[in-house]
Amino acid sequence: MAQANPPPRRSGGFEITGTHPRPRVAWLRPFACRSWGLARVVAITALFLPGCGGDPLADATRPPAPPTPPRQAALARPVPTATLPPPTPTPSRADIEADFPPPGTGALLAPRKGGKGLGELTVSNGTASDAIVKLSREGEATAVVFVHAADETTVTGIAPGTYDIQFSLGIGYDPGTRRFVRNDGFQEFDEPTTYAEVRDARGTSYSVLRVTLNPVVGGNARTEAIDEDAFAAGW
């Protein structure tokens, strides 16, 4: 059952209540002020003795005192703010590559491993960043190659087997760390790539594959982000 709402509480200014005493009449001797409090004697003297406490008529005709001008609120002092240094400009690609020039497209960044074969892998980099592409088998990097932006290269001599393809995008290559100075992340194709060689009376057939590092219409492969340690493993 719903409870009755309590009566609203009063709010606002203060309230003064009480009764007023009746005026008392006293006979005073001229200038007698011995048995009265100072405030009361002055009040009664002003009423009955015009020459002792003031002129009621003059008080009535006296112009009212000018109103007291309102006090102005003190203006708040402005709070000093800290001066921040200007933002550091982002170095341009030309500035980065002047200090860390990239190798040419097709340059091997690590010795080849994993044996020799006939397989080929063409890497097309349609992004605006340079790329480091790593081909690895069973956790060991068999080829690590550099590909400039808007360029492509072909890795040959790939032996039969199943490989993972990883790549990193960025600007300015640091040979000491074998990483980009400005790195745009690390990616891995989610499906491994298989290379095979088949020999028959007509000769040897082998795998020739092509990958793009940028999304294309009708593409059939996907990539996923990996961390730097996964990309650095095996080379």
Give kind and range of the element (H or E) at residue 173: strand 161-174
State how far the Cα of 49 lies from the Cα of 51, in Å rounded to an integer: 5
Residues of the chain falling short of pLDDT 50 = 1-2, 7-50, 52
pTM of this structure:
0.64
Q: CA torsion sign, 43 to 45 to 51 to 53?
A: negative
Q: Cβ(115)–Cβ(157) under 8 Å?
A: no
3-state DSSP assignment of residue 195: strand
Residues in the chain: 235
Number of Cβ within 10 Å of residue 224's Cβ equals 9
How confident is the model at residue 87, as a pLDDT? 84
What per-residue confidence (pLDDT) applies to 79?
Answer: 74
What is the spatial distance between Cα 181 and Cα 99, in angstroms, rounded to a whole number? 10
155 vs 136: CA distance, rounded Å: 13
37-68 burial: b if 16+ Cβ within 10 Å, else e = eeeebeebbeeeeeeeeeeeeeeeeeeeeeee
Q: Which residues pair with 189 in a beta bridge?
A: 223
Residue 19 CA to residue 31 CA, distance in Å, equals 32
> Homologous superfamily of 102-232 in CATH?
Carboxypeptidase-like, regulatory domain (2.60.40.1120)
CA angle, residues 72, 76, 77, in degrees to nearest 5 = 135
What are the two backbone dihedrals, phi and then psi, of residue 52, each rounded to the nearest 5 degrees? Answer: -100, -30
Domain ranges of the chain: 24-61, 102-232
* Token pair in block for residue 96: 């980065």
Q: What is the pLDDT of residue 44?
A: 41
Q: 74: burial class by Cβ within 10 Å (0-12, 13-18, 19+)?
A: exposed
